[in-house]
Amino acid sequence: MHGISLLALLLLGCSGDRLYVAPTVMEWGEVDFQQEQPPEGYSAQTLLIRNERAGSVEVLIEDFDDRLVLDAPNLTSGDPPRLPPLRSGASHVLTVGVGGYEPGERDTLVSGEFTVITKNRRHAAGVRWSFIPIRNIPVDTGDLR
């Protein structure tokens, strides 16, 4: 009986998918949309996702907002976007940048959250994000010097 209880405890303790996600907050501050947008989005940041469990796990990105740009090797587009399976101890490094804003949002705080989640939904980590869209339009003074 004692052996069965110990085995059950070990199985329960090892059954969850554990993902390390960093950062869990992405704040861009003011983002100037006056310049042409780079392919990775404005002010791109790195997002790390690491599998911290034994075994392989498939990772999904849920509720990713159209105002952001997501770039990762082998990212499968879809709803939700998927990443290739991660072996134990392996990581995905993604680039997240700002891609746009909706009418009426300029000069105001725009924020949201997307979720990094395992396909079997045993582990999820929210990533909050925010930025303030601005347009820094140069003033023409007429000075030709």
Among left, alpha and beta (phi > 0; psi -120 to 50; other), residue 104 is left
Task: Supply the range of the domain harboring residue 81.
Answer: 17-134
User: Who's near 14: CB < 8 A, 6+ residues apart?
Assistant: 53, 54
Q: Is position 139 within any domain?
A: no
* Domains contained in the chain, number: 1
Q: Is position 1 within any domain?
A: no
Q: Which of 22-26, 33-37, 76-80, 133-137 has the highest mean pLDDT?
A: 22-26
Q: Is position 46 within any domain?
A: yes
Question: pLDDT tens, 32-70?
Answer: 999 999 999 999 999 999 999 889 999 999 999 999 999
Question: pLDDT tens, 8-25?
Answer: 333 333 445 589 999 999
- Which CATH number covers residue 70? 2.60.40.10
Q: Is position 97 within any domain?
A: yes
Which of 22, 28, 41, 43 has the alpha carbon at shortest distance from 109? 28
Q: Is position 31 within any domain?
A: yes
Write down the number of H helices and E strands in the chain. 1, 9
pTM greater than 0.85 (yes/no): no
